[in-house]
Amino acid sequence: MTQRSPEEKHVDRLIVAAHKRFVKAMDGRLEGMSPEMKETYFSILSKLVTKLETAEKGLREVAQEMMTEAMSEVLQVMQG
């Protein structure tokens, strides 16, 4: 296993902190979301997590697939 540089470790810590902030922010928003918005959010989030759990897929491939698959749902949210 290769050793990570101090810069890499710092970025890792920043990512972990951002993940925690994201979870806290979404926890705070759930109660105010409509059932339809919750379904859309869950659908997009579930797709993303499933793809990220597939270790064989690189992040670029995950991002490309998500752009394609989630775009219609995102557009629907934007149109209200």
Domain ranges of the chain: 1-32, 33-80
Average pLDDT over residues 60-78: 89
- The Cα 55–Cα 27 span in angstroms is 27
**pLDDT recorded at residue 73:** 85
User: In the predicted model, is pLDDT for residue 1 greater than 70?
Assistant: no
**pLDDT recorded at residue 31:** 95
- The Cα 4–Cα 21 span in angstroms is 24
Task: Tell me the C-alpha to C-alpha distance, in Å, between residue 16 and each of 11, 22, 28, 35.
Answer: 9, 10, 19, 29
Token representation of residue 34: 């409509």
**pLDDT recorded at residue 5:** 92
